[in-house]
Chains A and B, each alone.
Chain A
Amino acid sequence: MKILVCISNVPDTTTKVKFIDDQKKLDVTGIQWVINPWDELALTRALELKDDASNGVQTVTVAHVGLVSAEPTIRKALAIGADDAIRVNTDPADAYGIAAQLAEVMKTEKYDIILCGIESSDHNGSTVGGMLAEFLDCPSVTCVSSLKIEGGQPVISREIDGGKESLTVPLPFVAVVQKGIAKEPRIAAMRGIMAARTKPIRVYEPQAIENFTEVLNYEMPKPRAACKYVDAENAGQLIDLLQNEARVF
């Protein structure tokens, strides 16, 4: 069995974002790029599944659609433990483009389980995983919080409103993963960092794919009104304000 983990390369979560060129472009100066947190957890889970030989996972591959500048992030995934990597050499214009490029690669490389994160912390699309599954005409399961392999078949748990469902689907399939999929992201050990230098990254040249959407410009959130303080000794007054001023109940 072969597992593919799709990774996106995003600004570190503590980044204060700024825009340039008439608010059209993210100012990348000083930004530290990281593996999207969900993808890091997806990779961790894939490696856990591979660690247990009874699951029959032969390889864990990571895939990224992006320019060579993303290679440090890909190398990090290799250092954490992925066996090899795919990079499609283009700066994608939107999620549709990303999924289409990945689907194109899947015509020559086959995977049994494809893992995507529930959302990428840059454009918060929550779309690449589902799109890829539709391109591949295979099942997808979204909001996956647990993934196991039993008798060569996936055993999945997905979050639904107010609970969860256990389910299974035939292979190949796309799992869009969220909280619970792995506890803590695995970190790269020294040996992994050394090994990552020589692990292969297969670079594919992109297909011509037109973009469906375009970001015209960005806006910063409106500053909120200053906080109104209530004295701790008089805490009950807060309830009056919420009721009569904010009118929220």
Chain B
Amino acid sequence: MAVLVYPENWDGKFKKLSFELVSYASKVAEMLGVQAVAVSIGSVDEGELSKLATYGAGRIISIENGALKSLDDQAYTSLIAEVAKSVSASVVVLSNNNTGKALAPRLSVKLKAGIASGVSRLPVSTSQFIVYKKVYSGKAFANVEIKTPVKIITLAQNSFEVIESPKTVAIEKSGIQPDQNLLRTKVTDVQKQTGKILLTDADIVVSGGRGMRSADNWGPLVEMAELLGAGTACSRPVSDEGWRPHDEHTGQTGKIIAPNLYFAIGISGAIQHLAGISSSKYIVAINTDKDAPIFEAAQYGIVGDAAKILPRLVEKLREVKSK
């Protein structure tokens, strides 16, 4: 028996997300008294693979093949399923990110395994396997029992800390190869932005709403984000107006994020906006309207004009940084 975890890599490198996932899987394995096994797909070197052992992976299985450069839902699913069977996995853990959303449901059918997605804590119990997850876009939570012998969990991003529990393990190169007939996704072009902090990776996010008043007023907001090493985001009307790019739109119909700190600047706090950010650890609201609903979700607030307050925050941050 084992807990199988799939830490994805980005151009051969793991990220904090991968380590959170392995840490989580190791803790679940500990609860079950079994080993955590990590499976990696794609070209990742040994040094990078061995990092997974730092977070508790007891076995590391690597599947390398030139044909696996970009995600093919069907081919990747069958590889992970095959490994799951070979290690007798009773639990399979993936991230609830783009890749996890593509693979976990297919795995569920392939392994006849019940799935709980967007889980945000360790299982509530393992004898009766119960997990805790967000429902109704964060308006409530549910305790969900998974009843099948094999269980699939996708872990909500930023919901579990990285925990070091180093093990020494050899890296096993797997002989399993993808079925060529399943490799049917043909990627013709990849466009990547470089140098921008990814919203889903960011520990701190500075976000602006219609209260920023126009596309021309974002200078201090962006500067504040730079000083904090933060990502930038916005409400839906802001991206609809074209004040900011679409990939910054957070909320129910945009990105769902859970940073440690979220600045909502000139954002009223509509329920659909909160659906994307309510899992943030701290929310700071800056708004001219003291009755704006965002203050009910926030732990820190300033009632006032963003155009005046942002420069003061930037000034203070520069001061702090120069110390």
Question: A residues near B, CB below 8 A?
Answer: 11, 13-17, 19, 37-38, 94-96, 99, 118, 121-131, 133-135, 138-143, 158-170, 176, 179-180, 211-221, 224-225, 227-232, 235-236, 238-239, 241-243, 246, 248-249
Contact = CB atoms under 8 A, between A and B. Distances in A.
A238 B145 contact: no
Given A169-B185, A221-B140, A224-B297, A248 B282 contact: yes
Contact of A167 (B104, B188, B246, B252): B188
B256 to A, nearest CB: 9
Nearest to B15: A161
Contact of A216 (B130, B193, B252): B130
| Interface-central residue, B101, B246, B253, by most chain A CB under 10 Å | B101
**10 closest A-B pairs (Cβ-Cβ)?**
A130-B105, A232-B304, A212-B114, A236-B316, A163-B192, A142-B102, A134-B109, A127-B105, A235-B312, A134-B106
Contacts of A127: 101, 104-105, 108, 115, 117
Given A163-B193, A213-B114, A248 B316 contact: no
A229 B146 contact: no
B297 A124 contact: no
A13 B272 CA distance: 7
A246 B263 CA distance: 14
Contact of A124 (B117, B260, B282): B117
Interface of B: 10, 70-74, 77, 96-98, 101-106, 108-110, 112-118, 130, 133-148, 154, 184-194, 196, 198, 200-201, 203-204, 228, 246-247, 249, 252-254, 260-261, 271-272, 275, 278, 281-282, 284-285, 295-305, 308-309, 312-313, 315-317, 319-320
Contacts of B308: 232
A44 to B, nearest CB: 13
Contact of B102 (A138, A140, A213, A249): A140
B139 A216 contact: no
Contacts of A212: 108, 112-115, 146-148
Contact of B98 (A94, A124, A142): A142
B32 to A, nearest CB: 18
B114 A131 contact: no
